Structure 1
Amino acid sequence: METSTISFSSSSPPSPPPPQPAPADLDAVSLGRLSKNLELLLDPTFLNCADAEIVLATGGGDPGDGAAAVGVHRCILAARSRFFLDHFSSAAATATATATAGGGGEKPRLELDGLVPGGCHIGRDALVAVLGYLYTGRLRPPPTEAAVCLDEGVDGCNHDACRPAIDFVVESTYAASGFQISELVSLFQRRLSDFVNKALAEDILPILLVASTCQLPDLLNQCIQRVANSNLDNRYLEKRLPDDIYVKVKEARVPDESHSSILDPEHEKRVRNIHKALDSDDVDLVGMLLKESPVTLDDAFAVHYAAAYCEPKVLAELLKLDSANVNLKNSSGYTPLHMACMRREPDIIVSLIEKGASVLERTQDGRDALTICKRLTREKDRNEKSEKCKERSKAYLCIGILQQEIKRRSIILEDQMSADESIATPLIYDNFHMRLLNLENRVAFARIFFPSEAKLVMRIAQADSTEEFAGLTSANFSKLKEVDLNETPTMQNKRLRERLDALTKTVELGRRYFPHCSDVLDKFLNEESTDLFFLESGTAEDQQTKRMRFSELREDVRKAFTKDKAAGAAISSSTSASSSPRYERKVTHSYRKGKLSR
C-alpha cells in the first residue's frame, strides 16, 4: 500500500530565523550595560548609597561646586584595586571600628592630601575620572568644561595643549599613580609627553613636577631638556621649582647670553636683596636699597617679581615709588601685566592698569594679557549660570577687567570722557557730609548687587582701609560709633576727606569697568527715595512695594552687567587683530588729543 505525502508550500520562501549574537558579542553587551550601571554610583545626584568619602584637599575642589568630597564604595574599590584593599583592610578598618564603637555612624573619610603623593593637586573632575575607571573598566573622555580654555574663535586655541587640558591630565596622573593603576599611568605619561612637544614653556612646569613626584624618569628628562632650552628666566624657575629639579635644569642649560641672568656678582647680590625685601613685604627697605646702590627697579625687574609672587598691597606700595616702567619686558618677553595674568590676581591687574600698564602689549609668541588669562581659564570657570550676587572666580574677574580696559582704550568717545570726569549726581551737593553720605549709599548698593567687583575696586581704591561714615549705610542706626574725645576737628576733617577720596576713586573705577551698571545706579539714586534701603520700615504695603522695586533694581543691574560683559568681549575680539604698536600709538594719540581739546 502506497503512502501519500502531503506537502504545504507558500508563494514566498520562509524568512530565516534572526541571527543569534555570538557569545563574545553577548559578553560585550553585558559588560557595557554593567559599566553604565556602575558609573551611576559616582553621580552625586544618584542615590546616596556610598559608604565612604574621599575628601579633596583645600583648594583642590572647584569654587562654588558645593562639594569637597566624592562618595565611594569600599567593596568595589577594594575588589578592583590592591591599593584600596590594603588601605581599607588596615588603617581605614581601624578608623571604622572606632567610629562604630563611638556610636557616631559617620562614613569613613579619606583625606586625599595624605592618601597619595601629590594629592593636594588633584581636583574633583580628575578624581572622578580615575575612580570611574576603577568602577567601570573604561576611561571616559574628560569633561569639556574642565579641559577646554576660554580662548575661542577662528584664531583662538585649538585646545590640544592649553593649560586646562594639561592640568586635567596632570591631576589624573597624580591620582592614577597614587592609586597604583599602572596601565593608566602609562597612558597618561604618553599624553603628557605629547604636551611637552606642543605646550608653552611655562605650562610644562606642572608636567615636570608630576613626573618628579610620580617617578617617571623618561618624562622628567624630556621636561628638563625642554625647559632648559626655553627662554624662561632663571629667577622664575628658581621660584617655581624644587631645589633639586632647578639644579638639574640649570645644569642642562647652555651658558649663553639669553640664559645668563647678570654677569656682575655684586649687581646680582643687590638684585637679590631687593627681591628678599619684597618677600618680606618691606617696601621701605626696597627704597633704602635703591638709594644706596645704582640698581633700579627696572634693573631688578622688581615690578615683575612683585606681580608674580608678592601680595597685592606690596605691589601697590612698590608702584608708589614711581620709578619703574610698568611695560618693561623681561628676558622671557613678559611685562608685569603678563605675569599678573599668569597668576590671575585681579587686584594686581587693576593696580598695574591704573599705573599705565598696556593691555595691548604682546609676548614673543603673540599673546596679549587677555589671551593669557583666557588660555589659563577653564570653561567651567565662566560661571555664567551662577546665582545672582554670588562671587565669581578670580580668573573670570580678571577676564572682565581686561575686556573693559580694552574697550576703554579702543573706543574713546567724548561722552565717556565726560562721564569719567563727573562722578554722578550724588557729588553735586554742596554739603560735604551729604556728599559723603550719598557715596556711602551708592557703594553700599554696589556691594549688594555685584559684591566681587565692588570688593575689588574698594581694595584698589584703598576704601577698605578707611573708616566708614555712619549714615544710611550703617547696618543699624542704633549702633552709632563712639566719639573719640582725643580727635580734633582737623583730625576729623582729614579722616572724612580720606574716606571721601577713597569712595570717589571707588566709583570712578566702577564707572570705568562697569559703565552700564553705574548708569543703572545713577538713575536709581536720582529717582528713588533713599529710605528704600530700609526694607523693613513703613507699613506692610510700603514694605511690599519697596521689596518689589528692590527686585526690579537687582534685575536691572544684572542685565546691565551682562551688557558690560558682552561689550567687553566684543571689543576684545575686534581689537585682537589690530593691537599692533602702531595702533596703540594711534589710540593713545587720540586720547591725548581729546583731553587737550577739552
Structure 2
Amino acid sequence: MASNLAEPSTSSSCLSNGTSPSSEYHSPTNLEIVSLSKLSSHLERLLLDAADPGFTDADVSVDGCADVGVHRCILAARSRVFRDLFSSSSSSSGASSGGRPRYAAAELLPPGARLGKEAFMVFLGYLYTGKLRQAPPEAATCVDPACAHDACRPAVAFAVEMMYAAHAFDVPELVSLFQRRLLNFVDKTLVEDVIPILLVAFHAKAHQLLNHCVQRIARSNLDNISLEKELPCEVLLEIKSIRHKFQSTDSDVTVIDPIREKRIRRIHGALDSDDVELVKLLLTESDVTLDHATALHYAVAYCDSKIVAEVLELGLANINLKNERGYTPLHVAAMRREPAVIVSLLDKGASASETTTDGQDAVSICRRLTRAKDYYAKPMQGQESSKDRICIDILEREINRIPMACEDSVTSVLLADSLQAKLLYLENRVGFANLLFPAEAKVAMEIAHAEPNSEFANRNRSRSSANLREVDLNETPSVQNKRLRSRVDALTRTVELGRRYFPHCSQVLDRLMSDDTSDLFYLQKGTPDEQTIKRMRFYELKDDVQKAFSKDKAVPGRPSFCSSSSSSSQKGEMKGHRASRK
C-alpha cells in the first residue's frame, strides 16, 4: 500500500519538472544522450581551460603561433596518428618553456599546407567533445562589406585547413564532411581559390572533389605557366589533356606558336633567377616584348619586390596592361598582398580605379582576400601592422587621395644651404617615422632605396664616438659630398612617399620636427624626472599620430569598417596611452 502511494508522488514530481516517468526510468537511450552531453560539455570546458598548464601535459605548435596545450590521453584515444606521435619520443619537437613535450603540427602536414590556430582549436574541439563548432567569424570572413562570406578566400581557406587537419590526424568522418563542404565552394568561388581546394583534395585522396576541381580549372582561362607554379605534375598533365580536347573541337581557339612560347618562358625563367639584365638581353634578341610575355604580371606575382622595381625601371612595360583574365599588374599585386610591390606600381602610375571584367578594383580584391582577424587585430606596441591591412589602406588612400599643398613641396628646412642640416633633419624625421609606424616606414624606405638610419639603430652610442668610427681618411671632400647628397636624395624620396600615402601623419611629423623633439628619441637619458616627462611627451606624440591616421581614413564614401593602418581600435589604443600616462 505504501508502495502504491509512493508512485503517484514520484510521478507528479517528474511531471512538474516537465519529464515523464518513462523517460526518467525506462528509456536508457535518453539517459545515455544526457550523460554523453554532460561528458561532452565537461571535456569542452577542459579544452577551454587548456591555457592553464596545470591541466595539460603537452604542447602543439601551429603555424608559428603560441603553443596550444593538449591532453595526450584524450587525443591518443581519438586519433591513431596522435597515439603514434605521443608514443614515439623521437617525434617530439623538443620541449616547451614549461619542460613538457612539444610537437609541431606542421611536421605532419604536406609541404606548403597551412593549419592556423583557429582551425586547430575547432578540430581539437571535435576530438574532445564529438561536436563540430562553427568557424570563428573573424577567421572565416573577409572585410569586403559586399561579400556574403559563402565563398570568399577566408571561408575557403578555413575549410581547407580543417580538411588538412582531418586528413593529417586520420579522422575520416571529418574528411568526408569537409569534402562535401568544399564541393559546394568549387563552383561559387573564384577560380584562383579553387587551387588550394584542389591541393588538399590531392593530398587527402578525395577523388570526387579532385575531379570537380580539375574540371573547373581546365575550363577556366588560367594560364598554363601559372598552373605549373602551383599544381602537382600529374594533375597538371590531366588539366592540359582536358584542355587539348577542348581545343581540338573549338575552332575559335588561338593556336600557340611554340617558338614564341619558348621565348616567353625564357623571359620568365630569367625573372625567376632575379636576372633583369638577362631579361633585357632576351628582349633584344627577339620581337617578344615585356607586354607580350606579360612579364610585369609575372614578376608582380612571383618575384621579389626589388626585382619588380627593377623591371619597372626599364620603362618597357604598360603599367595598366590587362592579361587574358582581365587583370592589371596592380590587381595581381592586390592578390599577392605585398605592400612594397603595390607602392612600386602606384609610384609608376598604376591606376587604382581600373576594374576587372567582373567589376572588381584592386582594393576590393584585397578586401575579399583579407581575414577580419588580420585587418582588425590591434598590433602590440612596437609590433608591425599586418601586411594585408597596410595593402588595403594604401589602395584606399590612393583611390580617395586629394593632393595636398605639401605633397609637391619641401619643408623650409630642406631649402637650407647646409647639406649637413638637411641630412640631420631628414635622418631625424625618418627615424621618428620608423619608431612610430615601422611597417609603413619600411615600405617607403625600401621603395626609395634608403638604408636604415645608423644613428637611430645605435642611438645609445655617443655621437662623438660614432663620428670617429665613421671617418674615412681616404674619402675626398667631393666624394663625401656626393655620398651625402645621395643619402639626402634617398631620404627626401622616403618623405615624399610618406606624404603621398600618409598625408595627415606627415603634417603631424612636420609640426613635430619644427619643435625641439629630437631629444625624445633618447628616453633613457637625463634624470628620472626628465625621463618621465619625455615619456609622457612621447605618448602624446603617438596619440597625435593615431589621430592623424584616423583623419587619413575619414574620407567621405569609405566603408565604415575601415580602421587605421598602424593602429586599429583607435579609441582603445588612445585609452591605453592615457592610462599609461597616468
Counterpart Cα distance in 2 of 1:270 and 1:142: 47
- Structure 1 window deviating more from structure 2 (110-119 vs 275-284): it is 110-119
Tell me, yes or no, if structure 1 residue 448 matches structure 2 residue 448. Answer: no
- In structure 1, the partner of 2:478 is 490
Secondary structure of the residue aligned to 1:521 is helix
Number of the residue aligned with 2:33: 28
How far apart in 2 are the matches of 1:437 and 1:138?
62
Could you tell me whether the CA contact under 8 Å between 2:426 and 2:491 is conserved in 1?
yes
Distance 2:528 2:296 in 1: 57
Shift of 1:181: 1.1
Distance in 2 of aligned mates of 1:177 and 1:285: 44
Residues 50 and 73 in structure 1, CA contact (< 8 A), matched pair in contact too? yes
Q: What is aligned with 1:577?
A: none
Q: Which residue of 2 aligns with 1:584?
A: none
Instruction: State the match for 1:121 in structure 2.
Output: 114
What secondary structure sits across from 1:464 in the alignment? Answer: coil
What letter is aligned with 1:247?
L
In 2, are the aligned partners of 1:112 and 1:119 still within 8 Å (CA)?
no
Checking the alignment, whether the CA contact within 8 Å between 2:419 and 2:484 is kept in structure 1 is: no
Task: Specify the alignment match of 2:247 in structure 1.
Answer: 255
In structure 2, which of residues 526, 549, 563 is the aligned counterpart of residue 561 of structure 1?
549
Secondary structure in 2 matching 1:323: coil
Q: 2:46 aligns with which of 37, 41, 45?
A: 41
Say which of 146, 163, 186 aligns to 2:176: 186
Counterpart residue number, 2:422: 435
Q: Which residue of 2 aligns with 1:82?
A: 80
Cα 1:262/1:535, change in 2 over 3 Å: farther
Query: 1:383: how far off?
Result: 3.7
Label 1:80 to 1:470 Cα distance change in 2 as closer, same or farther (>3 A). closer
Instruction: Give the alignment partner of residue 408 of structure 2, picking from 421, 426, 429.
Output: 421
1:122 Cα deviation from its structure 2 partner: 1.4
Structure 1 counterpart of 2:398: 405
Whether contact under 8 Å (1:258, 1:331) holds in the other structure is no
The CA deviation at 1:124 is 1.3
User: 2:300·2:333 contact (CA, 8 Å) conserved in 1?
Assistant: yes
Asked whether 1:509 is paired with 2:509, we answer no
Query: What is the alpha-carbon distance in structure 2 between the residues aligned to residue 109 and residue 471 of structure 1?
Result: 36
1:50 alignment partner in structure 2:
56
The percent identity for this pair of structures is 53
Matched, 1:331 2:324: yes
Q: Report what 1:198 is aligned to.
A: 188
Residues 96-245 of structure 1 aligned to structure 2 (within 5 Å): 106-117=99-110, 120-152=113-145, 156-245=146-235
- Any conservation in 2 of the 1:78–1:84 contact (CA below 8 Å)? yes
2:247 alignment partner AA = P
Q: Which amino acid aligns with 1:320?
A: E
Q: Paired residue for 2:568? A: none
Once residues 112 and 232 of structure 2 are traced to their aligned partners in structure 1, the CA distance between those partners, rounded to angstroms, is 17
Partner residue in 1 for 2:67 = 69
Give the distance between the partners of 2:553 and 2:512, measured in 1 at CA: 21
| DSSP 3-state at the match of 2:413 | helix
> What TM-score does the superposition give when structure 1 sets the normalisation length?
0.84
Please, which runs of 5 or more residues in structure 2 have no aligned partner? 1-11, 561-582
Aligned residue pair count = 535
Report the AA paired with residue 410 of structure 2: I
State the shift of 1:220 in Å: 0.5
Structure 1 residue 490: Cα displacement: 2.1
Task: Tell me, yes or no, if structure 1 residue 267 matches structure 2 residue 260.
Answer: yes
- Distance of 1:50 and 1:476 partners within structure 2: 50
SS of corresponding position for 1:54: strand
* Cα distance per residue 1:141-176 (max 9 Å; x no partner): 000000000101xxx110000000000000100110
Secondary structure in 2 aligned to 1:71?
strand
Q: CA deviation at 1:532?
A: 3.3
How far off its partner does 1:37 sit?
A: 2.3
Q: Could you say which residue in structure 2 is the equivalent of 1:345?
A: 338
Asked if the contact 1:113–1:119 (Cα under 8 Å) also holds between the matched residues in 2, the reply is no
Partner of 2:564: none
The one of 427, 450, 460 equivalent to 1:463 is: 450
Secondary structure of the structure 1 residue equivalent to 2:314: coil
Distance, in Å, in 2 between the alignment partners of 1:260 and 1:42 is 57
Change (3 A) 1:491 1:258: farther
Give the CA deviation at 1:534.
2.9
Query: Residues of 2 paired with 1:258 and 1:322: CA distance?
Result: 37
Cα 1:468/1:72, change in 2 over 3 Å:
closer
State the shift of 1:74 in Å.
1.1
Residues 46, 504 of structure 1: CA spacing in aligned structure 2 closer, same or farther, 3 A cutoff?
Answer: same
- Please report how far the alpha carbon of residue 209 of structure 1 lies from its aligned counterpart in structure 2 after TM superposition: 0.4
Residue 220 of structure 1 aligns to a residue whose secondary structure is helix
TM-score by structure 2 length? 0.86
Letter in 1 for 2:510: D
Match of 1:291 in 2: 284
Higher mean alpha-carbon deviation, 536-545 vs 245-254, is at: 536-545
SS at match of 2:473: coil
Distance (Å, rounded) in 2 between the aligned partners of 1:157 and 1:259: 35
How far apart are 1:259 and its partner, in Å?
10
Letter in 2 for 1:109: R
Whether the 8 Å contact between 2:344 and 2:447 is mirrored in structure 1 is yes
Displacement, 1:563? 2.5
Query: What is the distance in 2 between the residues matched to 1:561 and 1:475?
Result: 32
Task: Name the stretch that deviates more: 32-41 or 301-310.
Answer: 32-41
Deviations 1:236-276 (A, max 9, x none): 11212122211111111122899978722221121111111
Q: Give the 3 Å change call, closer, same or farther, for CA 373–44 of structure 1 in structure 2.
A: farther
Q: Secondary structure at the match of 1:227?
A: helix
Q: What's the CA shift for 1:529?
A: 4.5
Q: Secondary structure at the match of 1:110?
A: strand
1:537 CA displacement = 3.8
Q: Is the 8 A contact 1:119 1:175 kept in 2?
A: no
- Structure 2 CA distance for aligned equivalents of residues 83 and 259 of structure 1: 52
Gap change, CA 1:468 and 1:78, over 3 Å in 2: closer
Paired position in structure 2 for 1:589:
none
CA contact (8 A) 1:338 1:368 kept: yes
The amino acid across from 1:311 in the alignment is D
- The structure-2 alpha-carbon separation of the partners of 1:75 and 1:297, relative to structure 1 and needing over 3 Å to count, comes to same
Greater displacement, 521-530 / 321-330: 521-530
Quick check: 1:437–1:472 contact (8 Å CA) kept in 2?
no
Asked if 1:360 corresponds to 2:347, the answer is no
Between the aligned partners of 1:192 and 1:525, the Cα distance in structure 2 is 55
Cα deviation, residue 40, structure 1: 2.8
Summarize the Cα distance change of 1:55–1:543 in structure 2 as closer, same or farther, 3 Å threshold.
Answer: closer
> Structure 1 pair 263/185, CA: closer, same or farther in 2 (3 Å)?
same
| TM-aligned CA distance change 1:46 to 1:288, over 3 Å | closer
Give, as a single letter, the amino acid of the residue that structure 1 aligns with 2:182.
L
Question: 1:180-226, CA deviations, whole angstroms, 9 ceiling, x for partnerless residues?
Answer: 11111111000000000101110100000001010011111100000
> What is the RMSD computed on CA atoms of the aligned residues?
2.7
